Amino acid sequence: MLIQVISSTTREGRFSEKVASWVTEHLQAREDFEIEHVDLRHHPLPFFDGIAPARAPREYASAEVERLGRTLDRADGFIVLTAEYNHGYPAVLKNAMDWTFVEWRRKPISFVGWGNVGGARAIEQLRLVAVEFEMAPLRHAVHILPEVMMASRQSADPGDTTAFAPLEPRLKLLADDLTWWADALSAARRLEQP
């Protein structure tokens, strides 16, 4: 079972760096799935201008899109790390999603968000987008509120994730639930394969 942790913010000095360290570090200790970190900074793509990937599955417009598509194809489930930009989720993430489709389909997706309301508005919007991708968006998410963000920013060490300690039970709940769905849906996907 492979769970991908997707970093969806790419700007210089991003807070997501620490969130990614914390989430991957914690989940790597689990024995029920493997973790792969997918950083959208390493998947730069032009603004989507192709044909709808839902209609032309895996007909990749470029080597870069194919690299992202083949990467997402490997996953049994996703944890998207998301900021909230102007009450929405990052456009870089939507652009990456629009270049692909079947790679996400019939897989569970959960979220770790941060910001004034713990990224809740961005996450709610992403749940709606996930339904269009025929995914299973999960109820459990981790919301990193400003107090925790401020405590985390006190430390200049990008590997220092101690400020997130109070959120560990939430992350465990998310991971336990994601495992259940990833197991169930990967078994169902296998059954439909010829």
Ligand X SMILES: Cc1cc2nc3c(=O)[nH]c(=O)nc-3n(C[C@H](O)[C@H](O)[C@H](O)COP(=O)(O)O)c2cc1C
Residue ranges in contact with ligand X by CB under 6 A: 9, 11, 14-16, 83-87, 115-116
Q: How far is the CB of 116 from ligand X (least distance, A)?
A: 3
Query: Do residues 106 and 135 touch, judged by C-beta distance below 8 A?
Result: yes
Q: How far is the CB of 144 from ligand X (least distance, A)?
A: 9
Minimum CB distance to ligand X smaller for 22 or for 101: 22
55 class by beta-carbon count within 10 Å (0-12 exposed, 13-18 middle, 19+ buried): exposed
- E strand residue ranges, 40-179: 77-82, 108-114, 136-144
Minimum CB distance to ligand X smaller for 77 or for 113: 113
Closest by Cα among 142, 131, 74, 143 to 103: 74
Q: Token pair for residue 57?
A: 């599955």
Residue 156 has phi, psi (to 5 degrees) of -80, -15
Minimum CB distance to ligand X smaller for 65 or for 126: 126
Q: How far is the CB of 66 from ligand X (least distance, A)?
A: 27
Minimum CB distance to ligand X smaller for 9 or for 100: 9
Minimum CB distance to ligand X smaller for 141 or for 182: 141
Q: How far is the CB of 115 from ligand X (least distance, A)?
A: 3
The residue of the chain with the least Cβ separation from ligand X equals 115
Q: How far is the CB of 150 from ligand X (least distance, A)?
A: 11
Q: What letter would DSSP give residue 32?
A: S
Q: Token pair for residue 44?
A: 């730069």
Q: How far is the CB of 128 from ligand X (least distance, A)?
A: 17
CA pair distance 161, 152, nearest whole angstrom = 7
Minimum CB distance to ligand X smaller for 58 or for 121: 121
Sheet of strand 2-7: strand arrangement: 34-39, 2-7, 77-82, 108-114, 136-144
Q: What letter would DSSP give residue 105?
A: T
